[in-house]
Structure 1
Amino acid sequence: MADVFISHRGADGKEAETLAHELTTRGHQAWLDLWEVGIGDSIVQKMDDGLSNHPYLVLCLSDSGVSAPWMSREWMSALARQLDGAAVKLLPVRLTGGDLPAILADVRYADLVSDWDAGVRALDRALR
């Protein structure tokens, strides 16, 4: 099964956590900041560890956009590593709405907004 880093906006924390639970019940290891960053932890160090140790990054598209500072750093670093030849794959999902950034316009995404179950199944297939 896959090790997955879930990148999301803070406003979408509930939906991102639901997605993380769905993926773990399907046998995947999900890294979610809500689960991994504790009181007193270095946020930067935890994020770096998570990004370094998870070959899949699920980019949760939001009706609030994808330009939140932390989220932008996460997906842009994954994309940069991918372009440098690292074995990392960026998997966009429409979690609460929104559109892909222009640089990812050619990448197919899982649509959880129109059909949550079908979108999760499609994401699960991409992770196998």
Structure 2
Amino acid sequence: MANVFISHRKSDATAAKQLAGEILAAGHTVWFDEWEIGIGDSVVARINAGLEDTSYLVLCYSTADVTSPWVSREWMSALHRQMEGHNVRILPVRLSGSAPAILADVKYADLAEDWELGVEQLIKAIR
């Protein structure tokens, strides 16, 4: 099964956690900040380790935007690795709002329109 990193803003944590649980239930390994970063851990080191081992970065975006410093670094890191030929894919997930301009041509899972269908399509994209 695949290693999946969930990237999200704090304001979207509830939906992101639900999504992480559904991906986990489908049999994939999921990196979700609340599950992976413990008291006393280096946040940067834990995120870096999660990004290095991931095959898929699920980018949750909403009207809260994706320009938070953490989310921006996470998905831009994955994009950079992708452009250098590493086997990592960015899978955008719309919770609300619109995608960042650089990902406008990438098909996304639309959880805002239909949560169940969007999750089904996302899990199908994760091989």
Which TM class, normalised by the smaller chain length?
over 0.9
1:82, distance to aligned residue in structure 2 (A): 0.3
1:114, distance to aligned residue in structure 2 (A): 0.7
- When normalised by structure 1's length, the TM-score is 0.97
User: What is the aligned-residue RMSD (CA, Å)?
Assistant: 0.6
Q: Between Structure 1 and Structure 2, how many residues are aligned?
A: 127
* Corresponding residue number in structure 2 for 1:41: 41
1:39, distance to aligned residue in structure 2 (A): 0.6
Inter-partner Cα distance in structure 2 for 1:4 and 1:64: 22
- Specify every segment of 5 or more residues in structure 2 that has no aligned partner in the other structure, as ranges: none
Inter-partner Cα distance in structure 1 for 2:119 and 2:46: 26
Residues 62-109 of structure 1 deviation map (CA, whole Å, 9 limit, x = unaligned): 1100000000000000001100111100000012x1211111111000
Amino acid corresponding to residue 20 of structure 2 in structure 1 = A
Amino acid corresponding to residue 15 of structure 2 in structure 1 = E
* Corresponding residue number in structure 1 for 2:120: 121
SS at match of 2:99: coil
- Specify every segment of 5 or more residues in structure 1 that has no aligned partner in the other structure, as ranges: none
Inter-partner Cα distance in structure 2 for 1:12 and 1:102: 20
Inter-partner Cα distance in structure 2 for 1:2 and 1:121: 16
* Corresponding residue number in structure 1 for 2:109: 110
* Corresponding residue number in structure 1 for 2:3: 3
- When normalised by structure 2's length, the TM-score is 0.98
Structure-to-structure mapping, 1:70-81, within 5 angstroms:
70-81=70-81
Identical-pair percentage: 57
* Segments ≥4 residues shifted beyond 4 Å: none
SS at match of 1:92: strand
Inter-partner Cα distance in structure 1 for 2:40 and 2:72: 23
Inter-partner Cα distance in structure 2 for 1:21 and 1:109: 19
Amino acid corresponding to residue 10 of structure 2 in structure 1 = G
